[in-house]
Amino acid sequence: MRHAFLRPIVLALALAMTACGNDTSTTPTTTTGPTSEIFEGQLQGPGGSQFFSFTVGTAGNASITLASVTTAATPGTSINVPLGLGLGQPLGTDCNLTQQTTTGPGLAPQLTASNLSPAIYCVKVFDVGNLAVPVNFAVRITHT
Amino acid sequence: MRFILQFQKVSQGFHNKGFFTGRMTRLPLLGLAIALLCTACGNDTSTPTAPTPPPAGPGTETMNAVMAPGGTAVRTFTASAAGTVTVALNGTSPTTVVGLGIGIPGGAFGGCDMTATVNTSGGPGAPQITAPVGAGDFCAGTFDLGTVASGGVVVSVTIVHP
C-alpha cells in the first residue's frame, strides 16, 4: 500500500481525539452565608426608641447583639445601661415586637430567632426607664 | 502504554515492508505523534474553583501604634467561634492613661462601636478586658481621653481571641 505510511499519523490523530474529551467547564458553586448589618443610632433620653428594618432573603436564623452603648458626652467610652432590645415586623410607623429582652451591651447575641421566613423584620432599641441622658448605641444583626 | 505498543507494532510493520529502513526515519514520525498528543490535549482541567478564604481560627493579634492627640488606635479581628476575648494594653510610652476598649466595627469614634472600655496606662493587671463573644468580627484598641501629649503616645495592645 502506497499510503501505508499515513497509518501512524492517522493512529496518532485518533488517539489524540479519543484522549481528549470532557472539556466541559463547571461553574463554581457560590454559597451565601448569613449577612451582618449594623444598626447605629441615638436615644435622646427617657422614653426614647429607634428601630431598623432588614430583609430576610431566605429562611433561616437571626441573631441580634446590642454591642455598644456610649454616652454622647464621652464618645468612645462605654456605659453599662440596660436597654430594651426587640425583634418584630414593621407595622405602620412602628416595629411590632414578637420577642424582646432587656440587656446591657455585650459581644454575644442577646436575642436569637429560629426559622425566620423570608420577609421584612425590624429590630427596636428602646429605653426601659434607665436613661437620664442621650446615649449612642450599636446593634449587630446577623441574618440569612 | 497501549498506544506505544501499537505504534511500535505499526512501525515495525512498516520497517519489515521496507518503507522505513532506518531508525532515524522512524523518529520524526514518533515525534509527530507525540507532538499531536501534546498539542491536542491540554486544559482538560478547566474546572474553575472559587478562591478559598484563609481559615479563621484562634489567634493572638498584637498592635503597636503611635496614637495622636484626640486619636484612636484600633484593630479589627475575627473570632472563629464563640468564646472569650482578652484585650491587654501592655504599656504606653510615655506612660499615659488612655481608653482601652473592645467592640464591633462600626461608624463610631475610631470606627469601633465600643462595648466595654477601661481607662488604663497598661502594664500590670493586663489583660484589662475579658469579654465573652459570639463568632464574628470585632475590634479593639485605644482612644485618647484628652491626656495624650502633642508628640503622641506609643501603645502596645495584645488581643487573644477564639
Q: Which of A26, A67, A75 sits opposite B115 (nearest CB)?
A: A67
Backbone angles phi, psi at A15, to 5 degrees: -65, -40
Best of B104, B129, B145, B147 to disrupt the A interface (most A CBs within 10 Å) is B104
pLDDT score recorded for residue B16 = 46
The distance of B115 to chain A (nearest Cα, Å) reads: 4
Q: Please say if the pLDDT value at position B131 is more than 50.
A: yes
Contact A110/B at CB under 8 A: no
Which stretch of A67-71, B20-24, B148-152 has the lowest confidence by average pLDDT? B20-24
Q: What is the pTM of this model?
A: 0.71
Q: Which residue has the higher pLDDT, B28 or B12?
A: B28
Number of alpha carbons in the 13 Å side-chain half-sphere of residue A51: 22
| Cβ neighbours of residue A4 closer than 8 Å, sequence gap 6 or more | B14, B17, B19
* Chain B residue numbers touching A42 (CB-CB < 8 A): none
Residue of B nearest to A67 (CA): B115
pLDDT score recorded for residue B125 = 83
Class at the top of the CATH hierarchy for domain B59-161: mainly beta
CB B10 to CB A8 under 8 A? yes
Q: Which of B49, B107, B131 sits opposite A28 (nearest CB)?
A: B49
Which stretch of B13-17, B31-35, B58-62 has the lowest confidence by average pLDDT? B13-17
Which residue, among B120, B112, B13, has the nearest Cα to B71 in the 3D structure?
B112
Q: Please say if the pLDDT value at position B49 is more than 90.
A: no
User: Chains A, B: CB contacts under 8 A, how many?
Assistant: 140
Q: Residue A75's CB: how many other CB atoms inside 10 A?
A: 13
* Chain B residue numbers touching A106 (CB-CB < 8 A): 115, 131-132
pLDDT score recorded for residue A92 = 92
Q: Which residue has the higher pLDDT, B66 or A24?
A: B66
- Buried b / exposed e over A76-95, threshold 16 CB at 10 Å, is bbbbebbbbbbbbeeeeeeb
Which residue, among B122, B115, B113, B112, has the nearest Cα to B153 in the 3D structure?
B122
Which residue, among A10, A26, A29, has the nearest Cα to A18 in the 3D structure?
A10
Alpha-carbon distance of A129 to A48, in angstroms, equals 9
Contact B148, B105 (CB under 8 A): no
Q: If pLDDT is split at 50, 70 and 90, which confidence band does B138 have?
A: very high
Outline which parts of chain B fall under CATH 2.60.120.380.
59-161
pLDDT score recorded for residue B20 = 44
**Residue located via cell numbers 493587671:** B125
> What average pLDDT does the segment B132-137 reach?
95
Domains parsed from chain A with CATH numbers: 35-143 (2.60.120.380)
The pLDDT tens digits of the residues spanning A2-18 come to 555 556 555 554 545 55
The distance of B103 to chain A (nearest Cα, Å) reads: 7
Q: Which residue has the higher pLDDT, B112 or B31?
A: B112
The distance of B17 to chain A (nearest Cα, Å) reads: 10
Q: Please say if the pLDDT value at position B107 is more than 80.
A: yes
Instruction: Let me know how long chain A is.
Output: 144
C-alpha angle B14-B17-B19 in degrees, rounded to nearest 5: 60
The distance of B104 to chain A (nearest Cα, Å) reads: 7
Three-state SS at A106: coil
Q: Please say if the pLDDT value at position A96 is more than 60.
A: yes
